[in-house]
Structure 1
Amino acid sequence: MKRKGEEIGSQPIAAVVMPSSDDILSWDATQDMMQQLLETYDNHQTIEKRKEMIHGIESNIVSLKEAEEIIVTEGESIVSEISEKIQECSENSSQEEKNLKEQQKHIDNLEDEVNDIRDSIDEAKETEVELRRKIQHYKELANEKIEEMDEVELQKKEEVYRLQTQISLHAHVTGIKWDYEDIDSLKGEIDIPSKKVNKRFDIPKEDKSDFELVNNFWTMMEA
């Protein structure tokens, strides 16, 4: 710390025009001298302030450089972390893209299967319609056949009834009871009340004509 008056002593003495001892100083001259001294002192103060400002600026510049280095270091660290995150995200994105492609492929396969199933269903529906048409046609044919069979059965029943009536009448007239279980021969029982004859008969059909069989019957009845 400078002592009082040291600053003035350390500075060069300004050139001040001093009157000679013979001259008498006027008030104006004295004021001029004082003004010159004050200006010299003010200039010295301004220089010191400027030096202090420059020193402060230099200190600020150093601080700013240190702060800049810190910011750069932190920025590089942040950039490195961001790069790592970007790399990690890129790898994850690639894996997700791969998974999405596999899922899309699986979906495409499922869509193909669905389309195949739809085609099969359409074909099955067409087949079902055709089968229903055929079933209806066969039902109509079956109904016609059933009607024909019913008609034939009715005719057969009528024919059987007619034959039964004829056989019954024939049995009553001839007195013959036929045994229909044996188809290879004519078997039965004959009853002739007028002759009090009741006997069984068995006439083979083999190698005999209808005429011969009838003659055998008449011969048996007359015997």
Structure 2
Amino acid sequence: MARKNPKLDKIYDVFDKHKVDIDRDSIWEVQGTPVVKHKDVERLGAAIGIKWTKPEILRAERDEAVILVMGEANGKTEWSIGEALISKENEVGGNYKVKGKMAAYPYAMAEKRAKDRVILKLADLHGDAYSSEEADDFNQDPDNRSNDRRDDRRDERRPAANDDKPPAREASVSKEEGQKIVTFWADKIAGIERTKQAMEIAADKAFIEDMKKLSSNGEAYVMGKLSDKSQELKRAAHAG
């Protein structure tokens, strides 16, 4: 059987490279996007040998936490922001669903999300795989598990139609206002001259608030610009 999503091969290859066992039940797909169990992402991070710096709390509210995490492995440094806003049953908004009397731990969830993103970046899987803790929508549905077993690889591969598209978040502002936000921060990022400035923007409360207003695609675009600029400055610093 031809593998429907070539990203699955890359995921399995990375886990094999670092000698981390992973089975079929640990990977499934949501709208064509491979999702990996959090515990297996953690195991991958441990195998890579990531050294973590102390997390920086950017927002600390009763129902919300935003944490900046940075990790280094094999001479490469990556950082990411994790967000967790509690969402109660029958309530609109939030990205961390809490049911009934279940205890909520927004700080732990924010840190999990940030660390998992950094692990996937350092493993060169950013954009190819997501952690199961990334969003409530990524919870596993046993009926939609990938049937692509790791021992059934073939050369013929056909990418899934939506393999780049995780469940989308709609913007909370108009299209025009969203474009203004994107343009403002893209221009600000373009003018950065030091890596520290990239970190300062990531920790800027106004930046965090503006990112929440954008659609998931808009936020991904701006965060991509910030990450690319940060890497560009790091390469320039090493070259100098």
TM-score interval w.r.t. the shorter chain? under 0.3
Tell which has more relative contact order, 1 or 2 (C-alpha 8 A, sep 6+): 2
TM score, norm. by length of structure 2:
0.14
Q: Larger Rg: 1 or 2?
A: 1
TM score, norm. by length of structure 1:
0.15
